[in-house]
Amino acid sequence: MRRYQRDEWPIRHHPPQREITHRGYHRYGAFLSPATAGTGMSLVNWRRRSRKSDVSEVSDEWFASHVDAAQQVVAFLADAGLSLTDKRVGDVGTGDGIIALALALSARPEQYVGWDVNPVDSSGLRGRARAEGYCQELPANLQFDVCRPTTLPAPDESFDALITWSAFEHIADIGAVASDMSRVLRPDGFVFAQVWPLYFSERGSHLWQWNPEGFHHLHQSMDEMRAQIDAGPGDEEWKQYMWSEYRSLNQATLDDVQHAFLQAGLIVRRCELYSHLVNIPEAVAVNQKLSSLMIAGFKMILSRQVEPNTR
């Protein structure tokens, strides 16, 4: 497998992947380009930028990488013979809503509801989509709603499919959220879940912009990490945002996620891992499970367990 250079590490939470071509876009996909690495551009900055004259190449890459994530969801489901077309779909931890927008448009669900504990800036999303030439208006089948940390604002068994992308490493109580996902899912429904990077993996800190050394967070003190961020690139708002993202990481492993879903009556039926060659610092290698260090993330499809879990 190709080794990635420091400047190529993904912007925030998408694993290395191919370049994409979509609706006239040909971008670096999830990668930082050498021209933009280290500038500290962010979702926070993006939210302030809705006029075309303000759109930079970095924000293009952010948007394009999220459209690419949506395409990965569609492809992963299609490989399993599943689709979101004409279904009622919920998205747990929808973030800025770009993936939701891309899925609402391209997968043609009857309804796509993006939930997040933080409100989605719909008008900002529309402005950005216009500026990118992606669409003029948000589609009628797309809605956003604020959820509580452990409950989704939806009736029992009201959704055919649930999507969650890059959220299960941030959700504080994954057991409670998995349980509520199970509650709102129809009996014959399915869940698509993705996470990258898991906490104990090489890039698990999400802080590679300030420390490119793999696994650094597993042997550094909090003070050391914070000092590196303070001394490194990026504006204060971006640094604060990424530090709080780091502090919100729940340290769940693949097995923890499986356990949370299993307790909620949802079983993993299909799973693909993100893993690649790594060099492990000695202090980390002697203290952590190899499987935790090596499993950088996953995509999975879950369905409801027919018999209750009695174990």
Ligand X SMILES: C[S@@+](CC[C@H](N)C(=O)[O-])C[C@H]1O[C@@H](n2cnc3c(N)ncnc32)[C@H](O)[C@@H]1O
The window from 18-26, 130-138, 161-169, 301-309 that contacts ligand X (CB under 6 A) reads: 161-169
- DSSP state string for 12-46: SS------EEETTEEE-TTBPPTTTTTS---HHHH
CB of 285 vs ligand X, minimal distance in Å: 28
Nearer to ligand X, 24 or 119 (CB): 119
Sketch the per residue contact string, 246 through 285, with ligand X: x for CB under 6 A, - otherwise: ----------------------------------------
- Told to check if 167 binds ligand X by CB under 6 A, we report yes
Do residues 242 and 264 make contact, with C-beta atoms less than 8 angstroms apart? no
How many residues touch ligand X (CB under 6 A)? 20
The H-assigned helical ranges of the chain are: 43-48, 57-79, 98-106, 122-131, 174-184, 222-231, 236-247, 254-263, 282-285, 290-294
Q: Residue from 13, 126, 203, 216 that binds ligand X (CB under 6 A)?
A: 13
Distance of CA 157 to the CA centre of its chain: 24
- Told to check if 147 binds ligand X by CB under 6 A, we report yes
- Told to check if 117 binds ligand X by CB under 6 A, we report yes
- Told to check if 120 binds ligand X by CB under 6 A, we report no
Do residues 172 and 248 make contact, with C-beta atoms less than 8 angstroms apart? yes
CB of 245 vs ligand X, minimal distance in Å: 7
Q: Residue from 87, 170, 203, 239 that binds ligand X (CB under 6 A)?
A: 170
Nearer to ligand X, 171 or 185 (CB): 171
CB of 86 vs ligand X, minimal distance in Å: 23
What is the helix, strand, coil percentage profile of the chain, to 5?
A: 35, 20, 45
Do residues 200 and 288 make contact, with C-beta atoms less than 8 angstroms apart? yes
Cα–Cα distance for residue pair 201/204, rounded to 1 Å: 5
According to DSSP, residue 189 is labeled E
Spatial CB neighbours of 224, under 8 Å, sequence gap ≥ 6: none
CB of 11 vs ligand X, minimal distance in Å: 10
What residues make contact with ligand X under the rule CB under 6 A?
A: 13, 66, 92-96, 99, 115-118, 147, 149, 165-167, 170-171, 177
